[in-house]
Amino acid sequence: MAVARLMVIAAGVNKDMARIIAGIGTSHIPAIGAAVDNGKTGEAYWQPLMNGIKPAREWMKNTRPDVCIIVYNDHASAFSLESISTFSIGVGDVFPPADEGYGPRKVPVVEGHSELAWHIAESLILDEFDMTMVNDMPVDHGLTVPLTIMYDQPDAWPCKVIPLSVNVVQYPQPTGNRCYMLGKAIRRAVESFGDDLTVAVFGTGGMSHQLQGERAGVINRDYDLKWLDKLVNDPESITGINHTEYMRETGSEGIELIMWLIMRGAMAANINEVYRFDHVPVSNTHYGLTILENRL
């Protein structure tokens, strides 16, 4: 314990402040939630995925972040065409699972961290990221499936959650660069919160998939894996990829990958990728998972 404390001090990290310890990138495919909720994960179809996420669950058990900031997108659940915000942050105390058209998932309610969420919102706006603050917000598979992937089926989620929703449905989505810069601002916000909290940031969605149109089902695993290598080792080389390239190369819904850039921006420049897994197919999608740790 004393040694760990010394290392933290040596690295210049203030133990009395909140700090980001890890970044997680994961797809948020609704079929994974349905398979877990309906007890189908024993089926052969799900074996590669279930085996692949096992080490991530182990890692999560050992790491136990106090708060998870989950960057995700709402799929016409809490938000609709009535009002479209580019970046929204959930500042409430509790977020119930949404009914997306087939009944809400039977998962625990998501508990927020209102004080930290408001601190982040204030810090981001003063840092020139004009957030929408949301109190009442059901959360859909975009947020709850990543929790299921990392925590399985607990009676209550073992962390507080700050939902950070990004518009990726209505063109134009925010640029990759804007997302990356938002991540950096989130890091500044978290590290200026005067409470001893460990925080993990999730970037969710992707990887390549297209749900719509004559081209439905398109997958581009080679592109995804090269992109992921860059995300880990040289993120600034991919912040300039434009909307058309994402849609062309990774499918119209693959553009969700910009949310992983928010996670990456919230991490240090040099990080360790401690785990990676990918699998084709999960439903219509190339499933991807990466776990990044800040070097201390």
Partner 1 sequence: MREPRDYDDIPGTYVFDAEQYRKGYHLNMFCMSLNKVESRDQFRKDEAAYLDRFPMTAEQRQAVLDRDWLQMLRLGGNIYYTYKIAASDGLSFQHVGAAMSGGGGMSLAEFRQMMLDGGRPIDGNRSRGEQRYG
Positions touching partner 1 (CB under 8 A) are 30-31, 75-77, 80-82, 98-103, 169-172, 208, 210-221, 223, 243-244, 247-249, 252-253, 280-281, 283-284, 286
Element (H, E) at 42: none
Cβ–Cβ under 8 Å, residues 250 and 220? yes
Cβ–Cβ under 8 Å, residues 73 and 88? no
Task: Tell me the closest approach of the beta carbon of residue 155 to partner 1, in angstroms.
Answer: 25
| Whole-number Å distance between alpha carbons of 257 and 223 | 12
Closer of 70 and 78 to partner 1 (Cβ): 78
Find, among 175, 154, 179, the residue nearest to 164 by Cα: 179
Query: What are the beta bridge partners of residue 290?
Result: 25, 276
* DSSP character at residue 125: H
Element (H, E) at 10: helix 2-10
Residue 253: CB atoms within 10 A of its CB come to 25
Closer of 27 and 210 to partner 1 (Cβ): 210
Task: Tell me the closest approach of the beta carbon of residue 31 to partner 1, in angstroms.
Answer: 7
Closer of 62 and 83 to partner 1 (Cβ): 83
Query: What are the beta bridge partners of residue 24?
Result: 202, 291
Task: Tell me the closest approach of the beta carbon of residue 88 to partner 1, in angstroms.
Answer: 16
Task: Tell me the closest approach of the beta carbon of residue 261 to partner 1, in angstroms.
Answer: 20
| Whole-number Å distance between alpha carbons of 174 and 118 | 22
Task: Tell me the closest approach of the beta carbon of residue 215 to partner 1, in angstroms.
Answer: 3
Closer of 12 and 101 to partner 1 (Cβ): 101
Closer of 109 and 247 to partner 1 (Cβ): 247
Cβ partners under 8 Å of residue 244, min gap 6: none
Phi, psi of 282 (to 5 degrees): -120, 110
Task: Tell me the closest approach of the beta carbon of residue 161 to partner 1, in angstroms.
Answer: 21
Cβ–Cβ under 8 Å, residues 266 and 186? yes
Q: Strand, coil or helix: what is 24? A: strand
Which residue numbers are catalytic? 141, 209
Closer of 151 and 223 to partner 1 (Cβ): 223
149 burial (CB, 10 Å; 0-12 / 13-18 / 19+) is buried
Q: Strand, coil or helix: what is 157? A: coil
| Whole-number Å distance between alpha carbons of 127 and 188 | 9
